[in-house]
Structure 1
Amino acid sequence: MPQRLPLFPLGSVLFPGLVLPLNVFEPRYRLLVQDLVAGAEDKDAVRGFGVVAIKAGYEVGEGNAQALHEVGCVALLREVTETEDGRYELVTVGASRFKVVGIDESAGTPYLTGLVEPFGDDDTEDDEDEGGLQLLSAAVARRFEEYREVLDIGGAEAPEDPRVMSYLVAAAMVLSLDQRQALLEAPDTATRLRTELAVLKQEIALVETFGAVPATELPDLPANPN
């Protein structure tokens, strides 16, 4: 059965386990933060909201939910700081993925409230046994190290957990929003790692051939098991 979840449209993709700082200044999203903080006393309430990427442009108006991608990631509040001018500075961390199956038109909030269901299963790796998944993850780690060397960028060491590895690489690579969204929507860790391996090989070849070096930094972020 779908659950209600406040939605926060962004021009970026959030992945599970990755930290997302936010500066909240729009009145409707300041109200969203206030609602979440006020509901923190309810032990059954989720102290977070759904981050969903905008398909085009920078904002989504009322009744324009079709401008959002269907799959997003729950952002759990870790720190909330109110500034003197009424803004909120948040530190959030990505948790589980979800799929938007509808909008709760009766929610009565200025921000979108989605009807969502869990999406994907990172604990089910198709026919990949644990050993095979570790080998796949190690192959991605080697290619990712080569990728960083070619682009001359630094960052954290590759994690051992294949699931964490798959999301860290997805967040750190130089990709378009659509490519990141496709990785978020991968049904499981094995599929995501295979896709990343193919993309890494292609990107390394392009950089070595044409000398194009995008500017980026691998986020030195703590992995979160949520």
Structure 2
Amino acid sequence: MTTALPLFPLNSVLFPGLVLPLNIFEARYRALMRDLLAVPEDEPRRFGVVAIRDGREVAPTAVGLPEDVTGAAGSDPAGGFGPDLMSSFHTIGCVADATTIRKRPPRGSAPTGGAEEGPENGDDSAGYEALATGTTRFRLLSVDAGGPYLTAEVEELPEEEGEGAGALAAGVLRAFQTYQKRLAGARERTLAAGQELPDDPSVVSYLVAAATVLDTPAKQRLLQAPDTASRLAEELRVLRRESAVIGQLPSLPAVELTRKPTSFN
């Protein structure tokens, strides 16, 4: 079964169950936020997130949050990507549900108190802050640039567990604890310290995929693994390799390595 979704390309990978903060100021994405705010509050505000293979995430006029964030580059739904949109993106992405959308007050005005606001409440040129949660993986079938922002036809993908996922999940959690201790230092707080760890193999696989310090292509390979067991097996190999590499280094700026900025769009 296929469905149509607004498309939000990023230079990062979103995994099911993980939270995505967004700082939105480009015209095309402001239009998307307005449309999502028009969806009734008791219905999911869904859009698709895909990692960019070729192109740029943010229009040139938006770099560094300049004074004018409403220019023509931001109004082109295909701006920054090549003529073949499908080749610009990885074909496996993740559906996101915007649980919170907050419009910033116009520059120079007083804050409004942080309540969710709809498009009828005036100027949105200062952009939006949004918080979305990944829900389901999908396969990208086609991309359309005919509207104010990109839309896509997608096929949602079920999560198959695969053989031996439970045992692999336990091994991945042990390897991840070793990885964190070596990355942050044995005395530093880790994911396992004082926290209840998940026991669902698919949850473990996505949590570890998101928390491990990897580049976008490596994270994309984990997202598109055919089943949970395959993802966990790859994570076990990656964690053992990374832990061995870290163990050979004298020191690492762990705080800086693990700090992830808000995605700007």
Q: Map 1:30-45 to 2 at 5 A.
A: 30-40=30-40
Contact 2:51 2:89 in 1 (8 A): yes
Deviations 1:138-190 (A, max 9, x none): 11000000001111164433322211111011011110100000000011111
Deviations 1:107-165 (A, max 9, x none): x412111011013x32x323x2xxx4222111100000000111116443332221111
Q: Find the partner of 1:51 among 49, 52, 74.
A: 49
Deviations 1:178-207 (A, max 9, x none): 000000001111111000000011111111
TM-score (norm 2): 0.73
Contact 1:172 1:218 in 2 (8 A): no
171 and 214 in structure 1: CA distance in 2 versus 1, 3 angstrom threshold: farther
58 and 37 in structure 1: CA distance in 2 versus 1, 3 angstrom threshold: same
TM-score (norm 1): 0.84
Contact 2:56 2:81 in 1 (8 A): no
Q: Find the partner of 2:191 among 156, 166, 177.
A: 156
With 151-160 and 89-98 compared, the bigger mean Cα shift is at 151-160
Alignment match, 1:224: none
Q: Map 1:137-152 to 2 at 5 A.
A: 137-152=169-184
Contact 1:155 1:217 in 2 (8 A): no
Unaligned ranges ≥5, structure 2: 58-79, 107-123, 261-265
Q: Find the partner of 2:165 among 117, 128, 133.
A: 133
Q: In 1, distance between residues paired with 2:171 and 2:248?
A: 22
Shift of 1:40: 2.7
Alignment match, 2:245: 206
Q: Map 1:1-226 to 2 at 5 A.
A: 1-40=1-40, 46-59=44-57, 60-61=80-81, 63-65=83-85, 66-85=87-106, 86=124, 87-104=127-144, 108-119=146-157, 121-122=158-159, 124-126=160-162, 128=163, 132-152=164-184, 154-157=189-192, 158-211=197-250, 213=252, 215=254, 216-217=257-258
Contact 1:155 1:218 in 2 (8 A): no
When the two structures are aligned, how many residues end up with a matched partner? 209
Q: In 1, distance between residues paired with 2:177 and 2:98?
A: 31
Q: In 2, distance between residues paired with 1:191 and 1:207?
A: 24
